Structure 1
Amino acid sequence: MERPRILVVGGGFAGVECARRLERQLAPIEAEIALIAPFSYELYLPLLPQVAAGVLTPQSVAVSLRRMLRRTRIIPGGAVGVDPKAKMVILRKITDELAAEPYDYLVLAPGSVTRTFDIPGLVEHARGMKTLAEAAYVRDHVISQLDLADAATSQQERISRLQFVVVGGGYAGTETAACLQRVTASAIRRYPRLNPNLIKWHLVDIAPKLMPELGEKLGDDAMEILRKRGIEISLGVSVAEVGDESVKLTDGRVIPSRTLIWTAGVAASPLVNTLDAETVRGRLAVTAEMRVPQFENMFALGDAAAVPDLAKGDGAVCPPTAQHAQRQGKVVADNVIALIRGHEMKPYFHKDLGLVVDLGGADAVSKPLGIEMQGIAAQGVARGYHLMALRTNVAKVRVMTNWLLNATAGDDFVRTGFQSRRPARLRDFEYTDSYLTKEQIRDYTAELEARK
């Protein structure tokens, strides 16, 4: 009897946790497990701002898939289309060739991409913080602005190069602004010709509160910490237009700046649009067991799925966080196994463990199990949580070593130049234009069928 094929799409928190659980709970003779991932690592996204800041090396947050997964077949590529009728996933291999992968059970965990809006100049000038390449680019870019400002012959150019705008008052935006502000504040000592007062960081968000999930007190504490460092926080406004040398806000202000880091939320992977399935705010609508009801043996979870939040009720869906993604991965794995073995599936229900926000140095705010903390204690909780969440001992040691080295030796503020000749638009780093249309998917699967 042929073993059923379980295909997991996505090498992020949700997909990897699902594959790990499947390996542990299923005997090799029960099923064949495969995972489609464009990179050979799971990116530990919560620490990406520290990569951009040079606190951590890129390898520290790139957790090896082959260390975590022992018998899962890892397929190097990205899923660009799904044909549920043919039970086939179309993928674009890292060689850019198209290929098809059949499945009996499909787990969709393709994650998300940076959410953008129809703002003039945004897609041409915005820099994201969603991938390892984007973090490396942002670090090089920020340091290059200091270098270029130091060499500038006009004050106007110098001012525009030393003002930085971060859009998004959530965790990603707040931590990015906080970590990179520390970089420029430390680096300026190496530039004796530059006036430190010219360096300005702006954190902009349309919401009335910074990180509202933290609660009013901790959110206000975080704002106070950032403002004391000189970061200007503008709430209730957004970006109206982006140019080569300026960012115009919706309140009419024009900030002379050549750096816009865009972290204003995420949108489900474009893979969702290749399916004729119901969506909720762009995410696949799924049951409490995370099944996609329109299709047989298909599950979806993580950022790409609107998973009902049974703890909150009233139609709420789980937010796109790493904490939810990892837990959902385990439940989906259990439900796939239940389906294979003819057992009853279980719904996803979670208990919130709390939130941690690392603002760099000794600054942090945390809310573990509802207990509000700030300062050194909050920093200890934040870093302890990250170490616990990293899935290999090698990754834990690398991160701890990097933290210790940065705390004792500091940073050399070196530009690597790895990304200097590469287009830096969001779509270039996040491959949002790589996906197939429904018609292209049908044509491709029909062509495969004709070849048989």
Structure 2
Amino acid sequence: MNTVTRPRILVVGAGFAGVECVRRLERKLSPDEADITLVTPFAYQLYLPLLPQVASGVLTPQSIAVSLRRSKKYRTRIIPGGAIGVDLKAKVCVIRTINGEIVDQPYDYIVLAPGSVTRTFDIPGLTDHAFGMKTLAEAAYVRDHVISQLDLADSSHDEAERAARLQFVVVGGGYAGTETAACLQRLTHAAVKRYPRIDPGLIKWHLIDIAPKLMPELGDKLGRSAQAILGRRGIDISLGVSIAKAGPEEVTFTDGRVIPTRTLIWTAGVVASPLIATLGAETVRGRLAVTADMNLPGHDGVFALGDAAAVPDEAKGEEGAVCPPTAQHAMRQGKHVADNVIATLRGLPRSPYIHKDLGLVVDLGGKDAVSKPLGIELRGVPAQAVARGYHWSALRTNVAKTRVMTNWVLNALAGDDFVRTGFQSRKPATLKDFEYTNSYLTPEQVRAHVDGSERQD
């Protein structure tokens, strides 16, 4: 077969789902069976569950960013850019490359794994004044910001300003929010000992969530255990509460409280990438509606998985149940969808995705953790061992595993460091600056762009 007749497989997204799919395609397809292309803004796979530990300085950013170009044996072409639209009829993906050029990438088979973005609401000031915890840059930026608040409080002669800079608000009682609050509280608790002019009692962390329970997926007992651990550390937890308004120097809660603060971290859930809306296809709560074999109905060559797709959860056996947007499912779906793409390419039947959830782990820093592997409830050191063991084993390369383990050991032996890396030296950035959610096209814009390109050809 020559290069003109080889089928073109395009994978969008280099998260857990996309990378697992690409690697399996490379292993199971011979070079002359198909051309494989991966579209991603960054040539690395980010291990998202460990972002709070990057923000708190336990891990370095490089340790959880696994390079996709490190190995010489991989043959996939990587396009550095973001997919901003898909025309299903023309079989074209519209890409904005890192130099700003908009190009059309034709495909025969497409795997949509663009992941998710931070879910926001129409709350005054939210996107202008809140930070997120969804990207590597955000985690590094938040760390610099938190440490800078201690420096600024230490140098301030205004008692009100000092108190405001030492109050921190985290919104979201799920895994991301709880781990972020837990890890960063430990950082400030350790750092304040190096600031003799600051009263440690002024440092206050607030964790709020509109839900009635903290991390309800863990169950009542473990959820209460996590809440008790954070409470003992001095973290103020408010449930049934959200943000009514956010400003540069204060945050107003829905229960009427006004908290003077310069730090608002928003982790109140995620939604599917805006790319999904460009398809004009049916969605389920924003996620692309697909069959159990992760195929888009009516389009044999279109597959979607991970956070961006509502993949039926066949293991639950409940009508309407879909797989939660977790790394555990994304990794397994990536391998399974690769098999289904190959089956479609070879004219073989596809198989449904079925995976029973193996459990949940929550690392609260230090010796504190709660875990529920295979339904077994664990707390303290055993839970911490399970949590870190799971994350360590899930890292894709031995280099990443070595870096993470080295960081953990070094942090345990030498303690924290409180170095700012310089992200604060540029223009202040907030949640709206990191995820580029305004870059996507509408379905009409996609169609007009592709039609215009075809006429030029």
Scaled by the length of structure 1, what TM-score is found? Answer: 0.98
1:137 counterpart residue number: 141
Return the match for 1:401 from 406, 410, 433.
406
Contact 1:136 1:419 in 2 (8 A): no
1:349 counterpart residue number: 354
Kindly state the Cα deviation for residue 420 of structure 1 after the two structures are TM-superposed: 3.5
Contact 1:67 1:392 in 2 (8 A): no
1:255-288 CA distances to partner (integer Å, 9 max, x unpaired)? 1111100000001101011111001001100011
Return the match for 1:437 from 432, 436, 442.
442
Return the match for 1:21 from 11, 19, 24.
24
Matched, 1:44 2:47: yes
Query: For 1:143 and 1:211, how far apart are their aligned partners in 2?
Result: 27
Contact 1:366 1:378 in 2 (8 A): yes
Kindly state the Cα deviation for residue 423 of structure 1 after the two structures are TM-superposed: 4.4
In percent, how many aligned pairs have the same letter? 74
Kindly state the Cα deviation for residue 410 of structure 1 after the two structures are TM-superposed: 1.8
1:104-129 CA distances to partner (integer Å, 9 max, x unpaired)? 00000000000000111101101000
Matched, 1:244 2:248: yes
Return the match for 1:58 from 56, 61, 67.
61
Query: For 2:417 and 2:211, how far apart are their aligned partners in 1?
Result: 36
2:454 counterpart residue number: 449
C-alpha spacing 1:142/1:351, structure 2 compared with 1 (3 Å): same
Kindly state the Cα deviation for residue 254 of structure 1 after the two structures are TM-superposed: 1.1
1:100 counterpart residue number: 104
Contact 2:368 2:380 in 1 (8 A): yes
Q: Which amino acid aligns with 1:437?
A: T
Contact 1:356 1:365 in 2 (8 A): yes
Return the match for 2:90 from 86, 100, 105.
86
Instruction: Write the mapping of 1:366-385 to structure 2, written as runs, cut at 5 A.
Output: 366-385=371-390
Query: For 2:443 and 2:375, how far apart are their aligned partners in 1?
Result: 45
Instruction: Write the mapping of 1:13-412 to structure 2, written as runs, cut at 5 A.
Output: 13-67=16-70, 70-312=74-316, 313-412=318-417
Deviates more, 1:150-159 or 1:46-55: 150-159
1:44-92 CA distances to partner (integer Å, 9 max, x unpaired)? 0000000000000000010111236711111111100101111110111
Query: For 1:150 and 1:126, how far apart are their aligned partners in 2?
Result: 23
Contact 2:38 2:77 in 1 (8 A): yes
Query: For 1:82 and 1:426, how far apart are their aligned partners in 2?
Result: 26
Q: Which amino acid aligns with 1:211?
A: M
Contact 1:338 1:344 in 2 (8 A): yes
Query: For 1:213 and 1:73, how far apart are their aligned partners in 2?
Result: 39
Query: For 1:117 and 1:446, how far apart are their aligned partners in 2?
Result: 34
User: 3-state DSSP class of the match of 1:185?
Assistant: helix
User: 3-state DSSP class of the match of 2:70?
Assistant: helix
1:186-219 CA distances to partner (integer Å, 9 max, x unpaired)? 0001100000000000000011111111111111
User: Alignment length, in residue pairs?
Assistant: 452
Query: For 1:362 and 1:262, how far apart are their aligned partners in 2?
Result: 26
Query: For 1:429 and 1:294, how far apart are their aligned partners in 2?
Result: 35
Structure 2: gaps of 5 or more residues: none
Deviates more, 1:86-95 or 1:292-301: 292-301
Query: For 1:422 and 1:450, how far apart are their aligned partners in 2?
Result: 42
Contact 1:77 1:93 in 2 (8 A): yes
Query: For 2:163 and 2:423, how far apart are their aligned partners in 1?
Result: 26
Kindly state the Cα deviation for residue 349 of structure 1 after the two structures are TM-superposed: 0.8
Query: For 2:321 and 2:393, how far apart are their aligned partners in 1?
Result: 28
Q: Which amino acid aligns with 1:371?
A: I
2:13 counterpart residue number: 10
User: 3-state DSSP class of the match of 2:423?
Assistant: coil
Query: For 1:251 and 1:232, how far apart are their aligned partners in 2?
Result: 15
1:371-430 CA distances to partner (integer Å, 9 max, x unpaired)? 111111111111110111000000000000111111111222111112541442322100
Kindly state the Cα deviation for residue 243 of structure 1 after the two structures are TM-superposed: 1.2
Cα RMSD for the two superposed structures: 1.1
Query: For 1:317 and 1:360, how far apart are their aligned partners in 2?
Result: 31
Query: For 2:393 and 2:329, how far apart are their aligned partners in 1?
Result: 15
User: 3-state DSSP class of the match of 1:297?
Assistant: strand
1:134-172 CA distances to partner (integer Å, 9 max, x unpaired)? 001100000010011111111110111000000000000
Query: For 1:263 and 1:386, how far apart are their aligned partners in 2?
Result: 20
Scaled by the length of structure 2, what TM-score is found? Answer: 0.97
Query: For 1:231 and 1:294, how far apart are their aligned partners in 2?
Result: 51
